[in-house]
Structure 1
């Protein structure tokens, strides 16, 4: 069932990217196929880079959040990772541009993350991290 949910999320996330591009945030996406590609790339980058980014940012997070005691700091670090992934995807994909650079990456990533979460939850297609990690461990086990 997990793979099916991911496949169903893909075009929805692409539509969310088109909504983000429609808003005056400085995010430009040329077409729906580019949005589909961007949704895949953002997902793949998140899968491949989440742990390295958390390891890289971990010491700063530990100091500034007092080891996770100050939860708004943890939220800011997760948000920073989202902005990095969004910016990397725009850098990698021709037809996906951030007109105002970092400002567009910040605004676009936040709106993308919030809209994706709300819409996927409303449709019953949200997959939280614990379900994803459980699924990955099942795949690794055999």
Structure 2
């Protein structure tokens, strides 16, 4: 299945996941399905455009704290930090998508959004690993 078609199939699913996240007591607020659709698109676009620049900015602290990649959990934490930054940036950019509790809502919302998206898209056969951002995340070392 082509990347464009896969992304188009994932998009409304990710919007529904964002609505589920907003229904949980995490401090994430989404006004409507339309806002969720826009937010899902912006999160994906930001992920595509900003993953490499964020990795470049975080390369030195990552290299020091992970001993050049020898400590794998540190790499995982930096990837989650990037996910949280993208989630928070999308909320900042989109009217109707809010993080009521600031950083706490960004962390909880991003973790639940990413986890639920992976599970639901996997169950539907719309593999998350085939998306451009996750390909960049998995094939480009942080340092």
For normalisation by structure 1, the TM-score amounts to: 0.90
Task: Return 5+ residue gaps in structure 2 as ranges.
Answer: 137-143
- Aligned partners of 1:2 and 1:21: how far apart in 2? 28
1:104 equivalent in alignment to 2:105 = yes
Deviations 1:22-78 (A, max 9, x none): 000000000000000000000000001000000000111111111111111000000
> Aligned residue for 2:94?
93
Query: Larger radius of gyration, structure 1 or 2?
Result: 1
Q: Which consecutive segments of 4 or more residues in structure 1 shift more than 3 A? A: none
Q: How many residues align?
A: 134
- SS of the residue 1:100 aligns to: coil
Shift of 1:127: 3.6
Paired residues for 1:28-47 under 5 Å: 28-47=29-48
CA distance in 1, matches of 2:73, 2:122: 23
Aligned residue number for residue 18 of structure 2? 17
Report what 1:116 is aligned to. Answer: 117
> In structure 2, how many angstroms separate the alpha carbons of the residues matched to 1:31 and 1:117?
22
* Residue 123 of structure 2 corresponds to residue 126 of structure 1: no
Cα RMSD of the aligned pairs, angstroms, is: 1.7
Given that residues 48 and 132 in structure 2 are in contact (C-alpha distance below 8 angstroms), is that contact kept between their aligned partners in structure 1? no
For 2:76 and 2:14, the matched residues in 1 are separated by: 21
Q: Secondary structure at the match of 2:29?
A: strand
In 2, Cα distance between equivalents of 1:107 and 1:79: 11
Q: How far 1:8 sits from its partner (Å)?
A: 0.2
- Unpaired runs of 5+ residues, structure 1, are 137-142
TM-score, normalising length: structure 2: 0.89
